[in-house]
Chain A
Amino acid sequence: MKRIRLSKTNRINFATYGGVILAYAVLQFLNGGGMLSSTIRGQLVPICAYVTMALSLNLTVGVLGELSLGHAGFMSVGAFAGAVAAAALPITSDPLRLAASMVIAALAAAITGTLVGIPVLRLNGDYLAIVTLAFGQIIKSIVENLYIGIDDRGLHASFLENRIIFRDGGRMILNGAMGVNGIAKISSFTAGFVLVMLVLVVIFNLVDSRAGRAIMALRDNRIAAESVGIPVTKYKLMAFVISAAMAGAAGALFALGQNTITANKFDFNTSILILVFVVLGGQGNMWGSILAATFLTVLPETKAMRGLADYRMLVYAVVLILVMLATNNPTIQDFINTKFRKKKKKGGAVK
C-alpha cells in the first residue's frame, strides 16, 4: 500500500485552488441575493482580469526571475485581438464567442510574446527589463495607429491612417488612438473565475514538472543550469510566451467587460501597477498575487478610499519602496526575524 504524501507546496496549491473557489461561491451567492453594491459588481470582471495579469507576470518575475516592464503590452494585444474577434466572429452564443475570443487573444499575445521574446531573452537583468519596457511602448504605438474595420467581405486593416473603404454595411472596429467603441459586454464573472482557475492549474502544474524545474534552475543560477545541460533560451522563452498568452486572455476578458477601450489603458503605468501586485504579493507566491491584485483593485473603489483617491498612487509608491526595503535589507530582515520569528531556524553558512 503506497502512502500519498502531501508536500508543503502541494498543500499551498490546494489551499489556493480552494480559496479561489470559495471566494467565487461566496461572491456568486451574495450577488444572487443582491447584496453586492453596484461598484463591486462592476469590479468583478476587472478583478479576475487583474488577478490573471498578476499571476502571469509572477510567472515571469517570480518563477523565471526576469523583470518585465511591458506586461501591459501583452494585455493590450489580447484586449484588441479579443475585441476585434468578438465583433467579427459569427457565433451567436455569448459564452462561446467569449471563449473563442479569449483563445484568439491568447494566441495573438503568444505570437507577440514569441516575436518579442526571441530577441529580448538573450539579454539579462536590467537590459531585459528596459527592452520589455521598450516593446511595451512599441506595442502601444502600433495599436494607436492601427485601423480595423469589417464589412460583408471580411476584415480590413490599415496602418498609420484610416484608408479603409467599406462596402455598404461596413463599420469600424478599432479606430486608431480612439480605440474600440460600443463593445458588446459578454464577459462574465464566471468566465473570469474559469480563467483564473485555468491559469492557476497551468502555473502550478508547470512549476512542479521537468520544465518548471528547469525554469527555476536557470533563475537561481544560470551558469550552473547550463553546466548540467539545461537549454536556457528554450525555457526562458517557454515561460515568457506562456506568461504572454495568459496576459492576452486576461486582456480579452477585461476588454469584453468594458464599453470602450483605448491603447492608453494599457500603458507603462498599467505594467507597473501589475508589477506592484506581484511584488506586494511576493515574487513566486501565487496566492499573494491573487490577494494583492484583488485588494488593490477593489480598495480604491470603496467609499473609504474614494476620498483618498489623490493619494492612492503615492501610497502605492511608498508601500512598494517599504516592501522592497523590508524584504531585501539584511539589517531590517534580521530585526523582523528576531522580533517575530524567534522559532525560525536559520540555515547554515553559505559562502
Chain B
Amino acid sequence: MSEQQKNSYPKPKLVPVPSTNIIPERDVDKRPILECRHLGIDFGGLTAVDDFNMAIGRTEIAGLIGPNGAGKTTVFNLLTKVYQPTRGTVMIDGRDTAGKTTIQVSHMGVARTFQNIRLFGNLTVEDNVKVGLHEYTKYSALSGILRLPSYWKKEREAHEKALELLSIFDMQDMANYQAGSLPYGAQRRLEIVRALATQPSLLLLDEPAAGMNPSETAELMNNIRKIRDTFQIAIMLIEHDMNLVMGVCEGICVLNFGRIIAKGTPDDIQANPAVIEAYLGKQKEA
C-alpha cells in the first residue's frame, strides 16, 4: 500500500488509563464501544485468558495478535459469550454483558466471523445475508405462511438490502449460488457480509485473510477500511498476516499465553522487545 494511504488516518493517542490506551484521537472523548476489565477464563485448571484489559474506540480498527495458542480466539468467544468468562467484565457501548447469551450480545451490536468458516452451507448466498438481516425484516411466521402483504413488503426490502450489502465485496452476481459451494475466499467475504447485515457497532473478524493470496489480502485491507468508513463502526481483528495488521490497524494488542504482553500503535509494537521475543524466542546473549 502507498505511504499516503497509511498516513490518511490520525495517529492514535495514548490515553493514560490502563484499559483504554490505544484509542485513536478522534474517538478519545467518546464512550468506547468495547471495554474489557480483568477478563479471564479457566478451562478446568488451565487459565486460557487472564487479566485481559482493553478498550476500543467507536470507529477504531484494532488488532489482536499473538503466537498460536495465545488465546486470541478465546477472547472473541468471551466477547460473544460463546464462553462465559470466569472473571472480569465486558462492556459493550457502556452496557455490562454479564449473564447475557450469544444471541443477546448479537442484539447489543456485536457481530463476528469465525476462524473455521461457519456459513449456512445449504442456503444461497443471498439467504445467508437475509439470515443476518433477521432482526430488521420483522414479520410473523404466520404472515409468511399466508403470504400476507407484510411478507411481500419486508421480503423485497430484505432482498434489496442483501444485494446492497453483497455489493461491498462485488458479490451481487453470486446471490443465488449455494454458500457452501463458493470458493474459500468468497466464503470468508460472505461471512463478513452476513456479520454486517446484523448492523453491528463492533465487528470481530477472526483471521479474515487466512488462505488468501497477497493481492486478495491487499483488497481485503481496503475493504476493511471501507467498511469502517461507510458504516462508522469499530472493527477488531485477529490476524497472522503482519502486513495486514500493521497496515490497517490503529491500535494493536499482543497476547501470549493468555496475557497481554504489549499494547500500542503498529510502530510501538514492531519495536517492542517483548513482542519480538514472543514471536521469535529469546535472543541468546553473545
A–B contact at 8 Å CB threshold (below): yes
Interface residues of A (CB under 8 A from B): 7, 201-202, 205-206, 209-214, 216-217, 219-221, 223-232, 238, 284, 347-351
Is the C-beta of B82 less than 8 angstroms from some C-beta in chain A?
Answer: yes
Is the C-beta of B123 less than 8 angstroms from some C-beta in chain A?
Answer: yes
Distance in angstroms from B106 CB to nearest chain A CB is 3
CA A226 to CA B146, docked complex, whole Å: 27
Q: Which residue of B lies closest to A220 (CB)?
A: B120
- Contact for A209 among B106, B145, B195, B211, CB less than 8 A: B145
Report whether A224 and B120 are in contact in the complex, using a CB–CB cutoff of 8 Å. Answer: yes
Q: Which of A206, A210, A348 has the most CB of B within 10 A?
A: A210
Report whether A232 and B103 are in contact in the complex, using a CB–CB cutoff of 8 Å. Answer: yes
Report whether A229 and B154 are in contact in the complex, using a CB–CB cutoff of 8 Å. Answer: no
Assuming A205-B144, A213-B123, A232-B103, is B180 touching A350 (CB within 8 A)? Answer: yes
Report whether B120 and A225 are in contact in the complex, using a CB–CB cutoff of 8 Å. Answer: yes
Assuming A7-B176, A350-B180, A350-B184, is B117 touching A229 (CB within 8 A)? Answer: no
Assuming A221-B120, A223-B82, is B194 touching A228 (CB within 8 A)? Answer: yes
CA A225 to CA B197, docked complex, whole Å: 13
Report whether A224 and B144 are in contact in the complex, using a CB–CB cutoff of 8 Å. Answer: no
Residues of A within 8 A of B178 (CB): 347
Report whether B123 and A227 are in contact in the complex, using a CB–CB cutoff of 8 Å. Answer: no
- Contact for B134 among A214, A216, A219, A347, CB less than 8 A: A214
Residues of A within 8 A of B151 (CB): 209
Q: Which residue of B lies closest to A348 (CB)?
A: B183
Residues of A within 8 A of B146 (CB): 205
Report whether B131 and A230 are in contact in the complex, using a CB–CB cutoff of 8 Å. Answer: yes
Is the C-beta of B41 less than 8 angstroms from some C-beta in chain A?
Answer: no
Report whether B102 and A216 are in contact in the complex, using a CB–CB cutoff of 8 Å. Answer: no
Q: Which residue of A lies closest to B185 (CB)?
A: A348
Report whether B184 and A220 are in contact in the complex, using a CB–CB cutoff of 8 Å. Answer: no
- Contact for A224 among B114, B130, B154, B181, CB less than 8 A: B114
Q: List 12 contacting pairs A-B, 8 Å CB cutoff, sorted by A.
A: A201-B145, A210-B134, A210-B139, A210-B144, A210-B154, A210-B155, A217-B123, A220-B119, A226-B103, A227-B102, A348-B183, A348-B187
> Contact flags (1/0) for B117-160 with A, using CB distance below 8 Å?
11111110001101110110111010011110001001100100
Q: Which residue of B lies closest to A226 (CB)?
A: B102
Q: Which of B180, B186, B197 has the most CB of A within 10 A?
A: B180
